[in-house]
Amino acid sequence: MTSAAESRAVLVTGASRGIGRAIAHAFAARGDRVAVHSGSSREAAQRVAAELPGSGHAVVQADVADADAVGAAVDEAATALGGLQVLVNNAGVFTPHPPLETSWADWQAVVARTLQVNLVGAMHATFRAVPHLVAGGGGAVVNVTSRGAFRGEPATPAYGAAKAGLNAFGQSMAQALAPHGISVGSVAPGFVQTEMAREILDGPGGDAVRAQSPYGRVARPEEVAAAVLWLASPEARFSTGTIIDVNGASYLRS
């Protein structure tokens, strides 16, 4: 637990469940004040905020695909927390759309929504957060991307493309923001034991997914949160631009 003077103001997007919830808990456990964001359910975000240790937490809601809404949510979080030192871009959607099995209309809709939430929304949130981070003397942006950015996602190609774009965006911002004392890193999980992955992991292909890792399992949300927490720490400042794989050696890149 940190002292009051060391407590940071942290915004975690997509924090009402799964990986985002675990990230919110990890920051709160070290004494940080956390703004829990949800895209659709303020009630779910409020439940997460209520269960966090410590005090001074907040709840914000916005459709990440709506540029004005996500920008306003960032400002709202900074006001509620008394500033902003860390932004975690975790919000995402994962909708299958195999190229040979999807209609033209559905293809357009899924591609647009996936890119808007998983990539463009994170870009807008970062842009809006930067003035708050600069005003606070620096800080960190951490993006939650995916193993799929490197190995490909044939059943969800827009998801893989969005996460690859988010990696590239993060590395560009790492160079742009370093002179302002702001580090930018990314965490790229494989499959994680969350509600989003439950249908696949509990289905007939679940064992095959777990067998992709020599550990014979998928990641726990807390393991992803631990990597995010480190990238947001002052000790990780000189590792800006880094992408940390959290996939249990299920996919190794050079």
Domain count, the chain: 1
Is 202 inside a domain boundary? no
From CA 53, how far away is CA 181, in angstroms rounded? Answer: 28
**β partners of residue 33:** 9
In the prediction, which pLDDT does 1 show? Answer: 52
Task: Say if 213 falls within a structural domain.
Answer: no
Identify whether 159 is a catalytic site residue.
Answer: yes
121: in domain: yes
Q: What is the pLDDT along the chain (254 residues), one digit of tens a residue?
A: 555 558 999 999 999 999 999 999 999 999 999 999 999 889 999 999 999 999 999 999 999 999 999 999 999 999 999 999 999 999 999 999 999 999 999 999 999 999 999 999 999 999 999 999 999 999 999 999 999 999 999 999 999 999 999 999 999 999 999 999 999 999 999 999 988 788 889 999 999 999 999 999 999 999 999 999 999 999 999 999 999 999 999 999 98
CATH of the domain at 124: 3.40.50.720
pLDDT reported for residue 190: 95
Q: Is 254 domain-assigned?
A: no
Contact 129, 84 (CB under 8 A): yes
Which residues span the domain enclosing 61?
Answer: 4-192+219-246
Q: Are 211 and 9 in contact (CB under 8 A)?
A: no
pLDDT at 6: 87
Residue 119, in any domain of the structure? yes
On the CB side of 97, CA atoms within 13 Å amount to 20
Task: Flag whether 242 is in a domain.
Answer: yes
Q: What is the pLDDT of residue 194?
A: 87
The β-bridge partners of 18 are: none
pLDDT at position 58 is: 98
Tell me the C-alpha to C-alpha distance, in Å, between residue 204 and each of 44, 201, 218, 233.
Answer: 30, 8, 15, 40
Catalytic residue among 27, 94, 150, 159: 159
- Phi (first) and psi of residue 12, to 5 degrees: -115, 115
